[in-house]
Every structure is written in structure tokens, then in C-alpha cells.
Structure 1
Amino acid sequence: MLLVEDDRELVELLSDAWRGEGYVVDVALDGHRGLHLGLTRPYDVVVIDRGLPALDGLDLLVRLRAKSIWTRALILTALGTVHDRIDGLDAGADDYLVKPFDLEELSARVRALCRRALELADVLRIGSGHLDIARREVVLPEGGRVSLTAREFALLRVLATHPDTVHTRASLRRSVFQDAPAQSIVDTYVYYLRAKLGRSVVRTVPGLGYRLGAL
């Protein structure tokens, strides 16, 4: 999850609550940082304030959508007129909640957006094959299926959800292996995926990290 909010007390409240629910939370305190993270890292949900320093929240969302970043987005703001809500939804938001808000309601809306993101991504392409999310299997071009462990699946899903993104080892560890102390665990699981699916399934980008390849 990405939280773009400049109120530090609110950031601490929300990030602590969501991490307690098992989410991995990145925080941006201004619009430019939020835009950078939204363009370079994969998220299931982004929660955005409107009156941000450097770049307004609606401008941030418009720029993400212009770059074909379709991460589920919730606008969280004190601007609550009908026209404000219409502007937010027209900018590409999936939901809009006005401050002050109930934390339980906000968390329920975030869970709903996460479910919608999963429901719309039952199949992810991997070259001529695909990742069957419901069965947690890779379907090969010739029709065979390969089962993955939970962490192999999670790693390949992150890569396949954002196939044009170069993922650093640090971002992959944060997304998939947050309880692992060593960053080398990413390389280990890339090795496991290549052993099961062929070396081309994950591409190494020298000096940067990994991106999705093909079966």
C-alpha cells in the first residue's frame, strides 16, 4: 500500500494501524515523492490526500493514470462537496472519503479495493503463458501447469502485475519477503523460479534489479 499524506500524526496513525493488519505500507509526505513511488513500485492500493505539498493529490493521480498505472486509488481529504467528489472520481479515483473519518470504515474501504484488485487480475500474462492466480499455478504455452510455493508465487505475481517495471531487490524484499533479514533472499527465489520455469522467466537488469521475462 502507498499512503500519500503530509499530516505526520495521521501518517503515523494509519501506517501503524495498517501494518498491524498485515499490510506493507510505504509513505510519501508530498506529491512528488508519491508520484515517484507510484511510478516505480508496485502497489495494490494507494491512498492520497488532495492538498499536498509540491504536487496536488488529484494532479498526482491524473499523472499516474496517464502513465497507465491503474492501481486502485482512494482519495482521503477534507474537501467534501459534491463537486470535490466528482473531481476526484473523474481524475481516476476508485473511492473518495472525507475527513474526519472513521478508521474502521477507511480500513473496510481499503480491503474492498484490495479485493477488487484481486478479482480483476485472475490471470496475468507471462509471455506466451500466464499466471493462474486462483490456482496459484503457472500455465505454460504448451498447456502444462507448474505449481509454485507461496513465496515463489508472490514474487512472480509482483513481477507479472507490473511487467514493464524494473524492481530493485530492496523493493521486492519489502513486498514479498518483509520478514527476511537478508536481501539475498530475493536472488534465492529468482533462482527457484528459473529452475522451475526456465531462465528467461525473470530478466536481470544489471545494476538495477529484476523485471518479468517470458516463458
Structure 2
Amino acid sequence: MLLVEDDCELVELLATVLRDEGYTVDVASDGQRGLHLALTRPYDVVVIDRGLPALDGLDLLVRLRSKSVRARALILTAMATVHDRIDGLDAGADDYLVKPFDLDELSARLRALCRRSQELAEVLPIGAARLDVGQREVVLHDGGRVPLTAREFGLLRVLATHPDTVHTRASLRRVVFPDASATSIVDTYVYYLRTKIDRSVVHTVQGLGYRLGAL
């Protein structure tokens, strides 16, 4: 589970409660960090506040949906009007809970979202192979599996989600490696993917960037 919330006291409380209930919880205190985590790690559920620093919660959710991130999303916010709820659901939220809230109700809603998430097995084709998003592995045509690191997975997921798009190094660095300053990190991880899987997994478009190859 990913918790994107800038209220430090609330984050500490929720993270403790959720971990006690058996969830693995990652925390982001601003929208940009939440975007990076959600694009590079597989989550069953993302809990998002609306009024976030760096990137508003609804903008974060819209970007995640535009990148085909299908994790279930719950908006947790003090914005309580009917129009606020409609905006949240239209942005791609699966549920909307208003602060202040009851912890037992939150837990019940999260259990429901997790059940729905487990019904969803996202697989992205890579030629005759496929990217198993839940397991963060490439499943080869012969049944072999290649596990990926978080950053390898993040890069390949972006390429596989938009297989016909040529991605510039700058755009890939911005989406997958926002903490890095040099675009050369993209070339490094393309090399890692080609070495670990096959050279054909990522295709170089001369002078432009990279797109998904075909295994």
C-alpha cells in the first residue's frame, strides 16, 4: 500500500495502524514522490490526500491513470462537498473518504479495495513475452521468469504501457528517475534490461530515444 499524505501526525498514525493489520506500507509526503513510487513499484492500493505539496492529489491520480497504473485508489481528504467527491471519482478514484474519519471504516474500505485489486492481474505484452506487473517479472515465451529491480521495472513498465511511443531520454528520466539529474541514467538502465533479458527488449530510435522492442 502507498500512503500519500503530508500531515506527519496522521501519516504516523495510519502507517502504524495499517502495518499492525498486516499491510506493507510505503509513505510519500508530497505528490511528486508519490508519483515516482507509484510508477516504479506495484501497489494494491494507493491512499491519496488532495491538498499535497509539489503535486495536487487529483493531478497525481490523473497522471497515474494516464500511465495505466491500475492500483485501487482511495481519496482521503477534508474536501467534502458533492462536487469534490465527483471530481475525485472522475479523476480515477475507486473510493472517497472525508476527514475526520473512523479508523474502522477506513480499514473496511481498504479491505474491500484490496479484494478488488487481487482480482486484477495486469500483464503487459512484450512481443511473445509479457511483463507481470504484480510480480514485477518478465515472463519469457518458454515460461522462464526474469525478476526486475524497482527501477528496471519502472522503466520497462513505461515502455510496455505505451509500446508504439518513442520516449526521449529526458521524458524517461523525468517519469522514472525524478531524483536523478543526468539523462545518462536512462541509458544505464536500458543496458541493464538488455543484459538481463535480451538486447531486443528495448529498441533505440536513432536521434530520438527509446521504445519497446519485441522479444
Query: Where does residue 80 of structure 2 map in the other structure?
Result: 80
How many residues align? The count is: 166
Shift of 1:129: 7.3
- Identify if the C-alpha distance between structure 1 residues 130 and 58 changes in structure 2 by more than 3 Å, giving closer, same or farther: closer
Amino acid at match of 2:157: D
Query: Where does residue 43 of structure 1 map in the other structure?
Result: 43
Shift of 1:128: 4.8
Amino acid at match of 1:110: L
Aligned pairs for 1:13-162 (under 5 A) are: 13-121=13-121, 128=128
Instruction: Detail structure 1 runs of 4+ shifted over 4 Å in the superposition.
Output: 122-132, 139-142
Q: Where do 5+ consecutive residues of structure 1 fail to align?
A: 133-138, 147-154, 167-198, 202-213
Please point out which of 149, 164, 172 is paired with 2:157: 164
Amino acid at match of 1:164: R
Amino acid at match of 1:6: D
Shift of 1:125: 6.9
Other structure's SS at 1:22 match: coil
Between the aligned partners of 1:52 and 1:123, the Cα distance in structure 2 is: 31
Would you say the 8 A contact 2:131–2:157 is kept in 1? no
Q: Deviations over 1:81-127 (max 9, x none)?
A: 11000000000001000011110110111111111011122988797
Query: Where does residue 186 of structure 2 map in the other structure?
Result: none
Shift of 1:200: 5.4
Other structure's SS at 1:74 match: strand
Shift of 1:43: 0.8
Between the aligned partners of 2:109 and 2:4, the Cα distance in structure 1 is: 16
Q: Deviations over 1:48-73 (max 9, x none)?
A: 00011111100110111111111110
- Identify if the C-alpha distance between structure 1 residues 69 and 29 changes in structure 2 by more than 3 Å, giving closer, same or farther: same
Between the aligned partners of 1:62 and 1:101, the Cα distance in structure 2 is: 24
Q: Where do 5+ consecutive residues of structure 2 fail to align?
A: 133-138, 160-195, 199-213
Amino acid at match of 1:67: K
Amino acid at match of 1:62: V
Between the aligned partners of 1:124 and 1:115, the Cα distance in structure 2 is: 22
Between the aligned partners of 1:76 and 1:57, the Cα distance in structure 2 is: 10
Between the aligned partners of 2:140 and 2:64, the Cα distance in structure 1 is: 32
The percent of aligned pairs where both chains have the same amino acid is 73
Amino acid at match of 1:100: P
Shift of 1:45: 0.5
- Identify if the C-alpha distance between structure 1 residues 122 and 63 changes in structure 2 by more than 3 Å, giving closer, same or farther: closer
Moved more, 58-67 or 113-122: 113-122
Between the aligned partners of 1:114 and 1:83, the Cα distance in structure 2 is: 26
Query: Where does residue 176 of structure 1 map in the other structure?
Result: none
Would you say the 8 A contact 1:41–1:165 is kept in 2? no
Shift of 1:12: 0.5
Between the aligned partners of 1:200 and 1:51, the Cα distance in structure 2 is: 41
- Identify if the C-alpha distance between structure 1 residues 131 and 64 changes in structure 2 by more than 3 Å, giving closer, same or farther: closer
- Identify if the C-alpha distance between structure 1 residues 33 and 123 changes in structure 2 by more than 3 Å, giving closer, same or farther: closer
Between the aligned partners of 1:126 and 1:20, the Cα distance in structure 2 is: 38
